Amino acid sequence: MAASEPGPRMQQASISEFFEKNKHFLGFDSLTRSIITAVKESVDNSLDACEEARISPVIDIEIRKVKGKKDELILLAQDNGPGIPYASIDKAFGRLLFGSRFHTISQTRGQQGIGITGVVMYSQLTTGKHTHIISKVVEEGVAVHVDIGIDTRRNRALKSNHRRDVWLDEHGIDIPHGVRIEAHMRARYQKGGKSVYQYLRMTSIVNPHAAISFRLVNEDGAVIEQASWPAVTEKLPAPVKEILPHPHGVEIGTLQRMLRESKQRRLSSFLQKNFSRVPSARAQQICEIAEISDKASPKRLKGEQVRALQGAFKQVKLMAPPTDCLSPIEDLLIKKGLAKAIDSKFVTTITREPCVSNGNPFQVEVGLLFGTDMPSDSPIEVLRFTNRVPLMYQQGGCLLTKVIESVDWRRYGLEHPGGRGIPKGPVAILIHLASTHVQFTSEAKEAVSENEEVFDEIRRALLEVGRSLKSHKRKSTQRAKAREKFELVNDILPEIAAKASQILGREEPELAPVITKIMKAVFIEDEITWDADEKRTQAEFVLFNYTARPRSYTLLAKWPERDGVEVVDESHEGRREVYGLRKWKLATLESGESVIIRFAITGLEKDEWTEAEMFFRGAGDIIGATRLDEKMLDQMRREEEAGLLQITEPEFEEAIEAFTGVAERAQETDEVEAPEELNEDDEDAVRQTTLEDGWGGGE
């Protein structure tokens, strides 16, 4: 090109124009995915608005097919949130990359300021129609009705047909507050695992405080599919607090920008006031390692000094950032959320303690549900979530899935050919990752990228719920066998005795000794129920001795010990053994006898404690309970007395696993016809053998 020739024509594209031509970045890359993405953005906005205003969300989603137009749908989404004032409607719906959370560091569903505005843009792009908005705030007597479009070149809202009018529900009652959107778009509704129905179902599981309803309406106005998931708790998620960035997670470009924009005159002040957990002494140490004066102006640092400063961050030991920027779902609400969406025989959950990765706080929650109406020969259902938002696509490339595949589920009673891939069985596994900065594989936020710390935390939680499933299945199998045998013996023997006595002309013999010889086992039954009148949990344990000799036991049960929770009305006086473990020393149980332990627990919610994990001391095994490892129990007791053991529920679970691991390994192949007795030498031999096998190692 000659020097006198004009250069190439350069033009700046607005962000709206960019996304208009690259709508796949926003999740609108196919007709079937477009409607799911639109519903997702609407629901996320509604949940965020309600939670910020401390309102229990009620969300209604309706999808209408358009008569005479193939692959065109109308999305109607309505909530009971605080509403949006008229002056803010154009910013909320008509400007991309405009939001209140973009620069905040806390757990949020969305941060980019794209969400619902992307729906407005996609509607306009594919049908040429603007999105109709109705918004009502409490302070105003009537609602705002307005059509919103986007000027993509200037990234500005286009408003039309504005009016003020009443907003009535289907019964003619004035709606006090909320937002309703109506968007026409090119999209296709489909059923199955990747559908609007499935997205809303998954959303209801991790948002148990929300009431969500759904309708699919055909061209003639008839409802052809509908569902509703009511709220199962009035407890709203705890409000999260914004935190400052942590030095261990800041990148060089971000650090340069922060230094340029600094309002502090001295570097030491900059470090203390712009980062989390950097006290004066640590700021001084960072400056010394970087060989920069603590009085240096942040704005005047050169490139090599900025790199030295970032390098110094990694050499200084700093406290982890605060974790009140996270809002986990919590164990009980995960159970309630799963139970309202899937019928189950058994549910176990674990909420791990918060951790930090690259200066970003995160927390892992896992739930495992053993279902009643789920196929046993199909892969388990995997439910993936980040910050209470379902992940619907790219399951195979997601870190959350890869952690599940890393566990050998054969050890926990599931079919898992070769120990690879997704296991099979009537099970659903929920993984929720709460974080201030979720690392996704793409802009569409469909899969979590690789992260060693997150991987390890999820794996620990999966192993824990796997052990609970294994314990439940083993106990259920043992009890079922014992119960079947007991019922069979009790049905047949009396008839045989009656016939024999009639033939021989003798009195019917005492059957208890005979039943005892046949059963040759001690087993325990437990029943935990909710007393709706007293608002408390009732527990009953029944121990049967069907062996030929007297037995003496101490029974122990794991229970949800914490402040405000109390054991009352015990039929046998119990005592605290160690955190979360209560014991009852029983009188000698003669052959053929049984004993019942009853008590109640106050301070729990319904369904918070539904199944007991039982342990025992004494000679001879108990079907349905696990023998304690006394050495590990003594170690726990010493640590607790010394104040070294700051017990939390997850830590207690790990300790329980540790000191019951030996007994579980020993009982894995137990049949109902257990040995009459295990003497001390036998017990030591079993314990020594399992120790040599490496119990407690690996998984």
Q: What is the pLDDT of residue 106?
A: 55
- Partners of 143 in the β-ladder: 165
| Six-digit token string for 517 | 């010889």
Q: What is the pLDDT of residue 126?
A: 87
Mean pLDDT of 58-65: 95
Mean pLDDT of 371-394: 84
Give the chain's mean pLDDT. Answer: 80
The CA distance from 19 to 121, in Å, is 9
Choice among 26-30, 132-136, 494-498, 500-504 with the minimum mean pLDDT: 26-30
Angle CA 308–249–651, to nearest 5: 135
Give percent above pLDDT 70 in the chain: 80
| Six-digit token string for 396 | 């195979």
Q: What is the pLDDT of residue 3?
A: 52
Do residues 510 and 493 touch, judged by C-beta distance below 8 A?
A: no
Residue 21 binned pLDDT confidence (cut-offs 50, 70, 90): low
The CA distance from 547 to 615, in Å, is 19
Hey, what's the torsion of the CAs at 557, 562, 565, 569, to 10 degrees? 30
- Partners of 575 in the β-ladder: 583
User: Across 297-454, where does the E strand assignment appear?
Assistant: 344-351, 355-357, 360-371, 381-386, 389-390, 427-435
Beta strand pairing call for 389-390 and 427-435:
unpaired
Q: What is the pLDDT of residue 101?
A: 43
- Residue 691: count other Cβ atoms within 10 Å of its Cβ: 13
The CA distance from 513 to 394, in Å, is 62
User: pLDDT for 653-671, tens place per residue?
Assistant: 445 445 444 444 444 433 3
Q: Is residue 379 pLDDT above 70, yes or no? A: yes
Q: What is the DSSP string of 220-246?
A: TS-EEEEEEE-----PPPPPP---PPP
The CA distance from 547 to 520, in Å, is 5
User: pLDDT for 112-146, tens place per residue?
Assistant: 445 788 888 888 888 889 999 999 999 888 999 99
The CA distance from 405 to 450, in Å, is 14
- At 589, which amino acid appears? L
Helix (H, G, I), strand (E, B) or coil at 185: strand
Mean pLDDT of 271-289: 88
Question: b/e string for 535-549 if b means 16 or more Cβ within 10 A?
Answer: ebbebebebbbbbee
Do residues 42 and 93 touch, judged by C-beta distance below 8 A?
A: no
Instruction: Report residue 218 CA to chain centroid gap.
Output: 35
Instruction: Report residue 419 CA to chain centroid gap.
Output: 24
Residue 504 binned pLDDT confidence (cut-offs 50, 70, 90): confident
User: pLDDT for 37-58, tens place per residue?
Assistant: 899 889 988 998 898 899 999 9
Greater model confidence, 409 or 445: 409
Hey, what's the torsion of the CAs at 33, 39, 43, 44, to 10 degrees? 40
Residue 403 binned pLDDT confidence (cut-offs 50, 70, 90): very high
Helix (H, G, I), strand (E, B) or coil at 667: helix
Choice among 113-127, 154-168, 469-483 with the minimum mean pLDDT: 469-483
Instruction: Report residue 456 CA to chain centroid gap.
Output: 16
For tokens 């106990």, name the residue: 475
Mean pLDDT of 396-414: 90
Instruction: Report residue 158 CA to chain centroid gap.
Output: 40
Greater model confidence, 348 or 8: 348
Residue 306 CA: distances (Å) to CA of 103, 244, 276: 22, 19, 18
Write phi, then psi, for 223 (nearest 5 degrees).
-80, 120
Angle CA 501–507–513, to nearest 5: 90
> 280-290 and 267-274 are packed helices; what angle lies between their axes, rounded to 10 degrees?
130
The CA distance from 113 to 101, in Å, is 8
Q: Is residue 110 pLDDT above 60, yes or no? A: no
Q: Is residue 17 pLDDT above 50, yes or no? A: yes
Residue 73 binned pLDDT confidence (cut-offs 50, 70, 90): very high
Mean pLDDT of 415-434: 88
Q: Which of 55, 34, 28, 59 is nearest to 180 (CA)?
A: 59
Mean pLDDT of 5-23: 53
Q: In the chain, what are the domains?
A: 15-229 (3.30.565.10), 247-315 (1.10.8.50), 331-470 (3.30.230.10), 510-692 (2.60.40.1170)
Q: Is residue 525 pLDDT above 70, yes or no? A: yes
Q: What is the pLDDT of residue 440?
A: 83
Angle CA 421–426–427, to nearest 5: 65
Mean pLDDT of 329-339: 80
The CA distance from 639 to 648, in Å, is 14
Residue 487 binned pLDDT confidence (cut-offs 50, 70, 90): low
Helix, strand, coil percentages (3-state) for the chain, rounded to 5, are 35, 25, 40
Q: Is residue 263 pLDDT above 60, yes or no? A: yes
Do residues 229 and 214 touch, judged by C-beta distance below 8 A?
A: no
Residue 9 binned pLDDT confidence (cut-offs 50, 70, 90): low
Residue 19 binned pLDDT confidence (cut-offs 50, 70, 90): low
Helix (H, G, I), strand (E, B) or coil at 598: strand
Residue 490 binned pLDDT confidence (cut-offs 50, 70, 90): low
Do residues 367 and 335 touch, judged by C-beta distance below 8 A?
A: yes
Mean pLDDT of 416-427: 86
The CA distance from 560 to 565, in Å, is 8
Q: What is the pLDDT of residue 12?
A: 47
Residue 643 binned pLDDT confidence (cut-offs 50, 70, 90): low
Do residues 396 and 444 touch, judged by C-beta distance below 8 A?
A: no
Greater model confidence, 401 or 660: 401
Do residues 404 and 463 touch, judged by C-beta distance below 8 A?
A: no
Q: Which of 90, 117, 89 is nearest to 15 (CA)?
A: 117
DSSP 8-state assignment for residue 671: -
Choice among 36-45, 96-105, 271-280, 339-348 with the minimum mean pLDDT: 96-105
The CA distance from 75 to 180, in Å, is 10
The CA distance from 337 to 205, in Å, is 4
Q: What is the pLDDT of residue 136?
A: 92
Q: Is residue 677 pLDDT above 50, yes or no? A: no
Do residues 181 and 167 touch, judged by C-beta distance below 8 A?
A: no
Residue 330 binned pLDDT confidence (cut-offs 50, 70, 90): confident
Instruction: Report residue 313 CA to chain centroid gap.
Output: 33
Helix (H, G, I), strand (E, B) or coil at 327: coil
Residue 121 CA: distances (Å) to CA of 83, 156, 204: 21, 11, 27
User: pLDDT for 85-94, tens place per residue?
Assistant: 888 888 888 7
Please classify residue 37 by burial: count the beta carbons closer than 10 Å to its beta carbon, then call 0-12 exposed, 13-18 middle and 19+ buried: buried
Mean pLDDT of 602-607: 85
> 252-260 and 267-274 are packed helices; what angle lies between their axes, rounded to 10 degrees?
110
Helix (H, G, I), strand (E, B) or coil at 642: coil
Radius of gyration of the CA atoms of the chain, in A: 31
Beta strand pairing call for 360-371 and 427-435:
antiparallel
Q: Which of 77, 269, 296 is nearest to 179 (CA)?
A: 77
The CA distance from 464 to 401, in Å, is 17
Sign of CA dihedral 160, 165, 171, 174: positive
